Amino acid sequence: MSKNPSAITYTYAAKNKEGDQFKEYRKNGGEYNYRGGNVQNWTNVDNNKDRYAVFTKLKSGEMINFPLAEITDSWVFKNEGYTLSDGSIHASLSFNLALLEHEYGHFLQAMFLGKKAFEVISQLSLVNAAVHSTEEHRRFWTEVDASTRAAIFFGPKSDIELDKSQPKEGE
Ligand SMILES: [Zn+2]
């Protein structure tokens, strides 16, 4: 298990404590209707790079924060998704929260492994996805690593942790 993802939680929380009450965020466009909830993106009015996405569960109203990420359905085929090293998550509206959290796991990879290593991982993942079924692809190490990082980041009761169709390390 990597201990890195919990470190990023701490970094972001510390940043929030020090400065965020003085920052203003604006809603970045309309809501995206994903399976089981809506996504709204927020951007700092002074700095477009300081942003976050929020997934609000339809049933419970629970809000899941995706720090530094933006989630849209632009430039994706149906049922597909990918994540860029800057935290831009492109995901088909057929995705549920667990799948979005998995994509965020790829962003965690990018932050902790660096852009160059992440680009290599992305290529390996794309090639693997192209030649394997979805189920097989989810067992490929790049995917297990992303799901594991996401499960640590979002916590023991998160959708990604509870979704057994997305294997984590040791499963
Ligand atoms: Zn993936």
- Read off the pLDDT of residues 1-39 as tens digits, 9 standing for 90 and up: 344 444 444 444 445 555 555 678 889 889 999 999 999
Residue 66 CA: distances (Å) to CA of 69, 97, 121, 153:
6, 11, 21, 10
* 32-48 confidence digits (pLDDT tens): 999 999 999 998 887 77
Give the distance (Å) from ligand 1 centre to CA of residue 20: 31
* 86-128 confidence digits (pLDDT tens): 999 999 999 999 999 999 999 999 999 999 999 999 999 999 9
**How remote is the C-alpha of 55 from its chain's centroid?**
11
Indicate whether 160 pLDDT > 90: yes
Give the distance (Å) from ligand 1 centre to CA of residue 103: 6
Give the distance (Å) from ligand 1 centre to CA of residue 139: 10
Give the distance (Å) from ligand 1 centre to CA of residue 19: 33
Give the distance (Å) from ligand 1 centre to CA of residue 21: 34
Give the distance (Å) from ligand 1 centre to CA of residue 2: 17
Give the distance (Å) from ligand 1 centre to CA of residue 28: 25
Indicate whether 58 pLDDT > 80: yes
